[in-house]
Amino acid sequence: MIRPAEHPEVAMEAYEGKAKIVRIVGEDDVEIFYKDDATAFNGQKHEQFAGKGALNSRITELLFRYLEDRGVPTHHRGRLDERTLAARRVQIVPLEVVVRFLVAGSLQKRTGLDYLTPCDPPIVEFYYKRDDLGDPLLNDEHIRLLGLATEAEVSELGGRSVAAARHLQSLFAGAGIDLVDLKFEFGRTPDGLLLADEISPDTCRFRDAETGEILDKDLFRFGKGDLVAGYRTLLERLEAALPGAV
Ligand code: TMP
Ligand code: ASP
């Protein structure tokens, strides 16, 4: 709990996650600070990388704006400083929605399919946001049993996720980058569901379409190279593919 000096009577809450701090600053508003921390394997691996927070907040801002311009409602409101974004306050749905265009990561492990086998149509999976359980994969019946979302919401979450992921896939294709898979989170509001949280190389897999070079958190997860250099390259290529980006 944080009490701001200028309003000591207002007890403001802040939630610290593995890579971000969310401060509640009003009935409908939050400020999201991007830390330099990277974690993997449910926090077992943890390091700090100077510059990561600024890169992820910039990439997230550009991607939310790109999606908003294509009719995808998000919680994004604007930028406050180099590492802090303003967003609408939402009730986060405790599900991570993963969309996969190519096989990698846990899908490769679960199925034995070859790395980068195409998934057409894309695969949609739901994971339970529960660190103490290791974020397990859930099917629709588990979601119903746990009361995490209604059947209508599950279908809306899946449909909206695939639509948003396809927009991002085509954006990155224009930058010569394959979007392998990604994770979305959604928030409930009185006006319906909004895409929330972040969209960054922490939450997506990106590969150079020509060379296969890794441009995401797999650099850190599997010790495959310099995380900050990879995220910077991703941002530069994204900015080049988005001519209007300011
Ligand atoms: P996975 O192959 O490890 O299941 O990951 C699929 C995608 O979801 C990948 O782009 C990384 C992202 N992801 C997160 O953003 N947070 C998580 O906790 C996990 C496990 C994956
Ligand atoms: N973000 C998760 C963690 O910190 C898992 C991952 O992305 O690999 O453990």
pLDDT at 12: 67
- CA-nearest of 225, 186, 231, 241 to 206 is 231
**Looking at residues 117-127, what average pLDDT do you find?**
98
pLDDT at 244: 75
- Distance (angstroms) between ligand 2 centre and the Cα of 190 equals 30
pLDDT tens track for 84-121: 999 999 999 999 999 999 999 999 999 999 999 999 99
pLDDT at 198: 98
Q: Give yes or no for residue 3 having a pLDDT over 70.
A: no
Q: Give yes or no for residue 68 having a pLDDT over 70.
A: yes
Q: Give yes or no for residue 34 having a pLDDT over 80.
A: yes
> Ligand 1 — pocket residues by CB below 6 A?
98, 104-107, 135, 181-183, 203-205
What average pLDDT does the chain have?
95
Q: What is the 3-state secondary structure (H, E, C) of 185-245?
A: EEEEECCEEEEECCCCCCCEEEEECCCCCECCCHHHHCCCCCHHHHHHHHHHHHHHHCCCC
> Ligand 2 — pocket residues by CB below 6 A?
18, 39-43, 217, 221
Number of the ligand 2 atom closest to the C-alpha atom of 42: 9
Q: Give yes or no for residue 193 having a pLDDT over 60.
A: yes
Q: Supply the pTM of this predicted model.
A: 0.94
Give the C-alpha separation, 95 to 143, whole Å: 9
Return the residue whose CA atom lies nearest to atom 17 of ligand 1: 203
The residues pairing with 29 across neighbouring beta strands, listed in sequence order, are 88
- Distance (angstroms) between ligand 1 centre and the Cα of 156 equals 20
- Distance (angstroms) between ligand 1 centre and the Cα of 203 equals 6
Which ligand neighbours the alpha carbon of 198 most closely? 1
pLDDT at 5: 42
**Looking at residues 66-71, what average pLDDT do you find?**
98
- Percent of the chain at pLDDT > 70 equals 94
* Beta strand ranges found along 49-94 (DSSP E): 76-81, 84-88, 91-92
Pocket test for ligand 1, best of 56, 59, 95, 98 (most atoms within 8 A of CB): 98
**Looking at residues 227-238, what average pLDDT do you find?**
98
Q: Give yes or no for residue 11 having a pLDDT over 60.
A: no
Q: Give yes or no for residue 160 having a pLDDT over 60.
A: yes
pLDDT at 154: 98
Number of the ligand 1 atom closest to the C-alpha atom of 42: 18
- Do residues 107 and 123 lie in contact, with contact meaning Cβ atoms separated by under 8 Å? yes
Which ligand neighbours the alpha carbon of 17 most closely? 2
Integer Rg of the chain from CA: 18
Give the C-alpha separation, 210 to 222, whole Å: 21
Q: Give yes or no for residue 61 having a pLDDT over 80.
A: yes
- Distance (angstroms) between ligand 1 centre and the Cα of 110 equals 14
- More reliable by pLDDT, 49 or 6: 49
**Looking at residues 221-226, what average pLDDT do you find?**
97
**Looking at residues 26-41, what average pLDDT do you find?**
97
pLDDT at 29: 98
- Distance (angstroms) between ligand 2 centre and the Cα of 202 equals 8
Q: How confident is the model at residue 246 (pLDDT cuts 50, 70, 90)?
A: low
pLDDT tens track for 77-93: 999 999 999 999 999 99
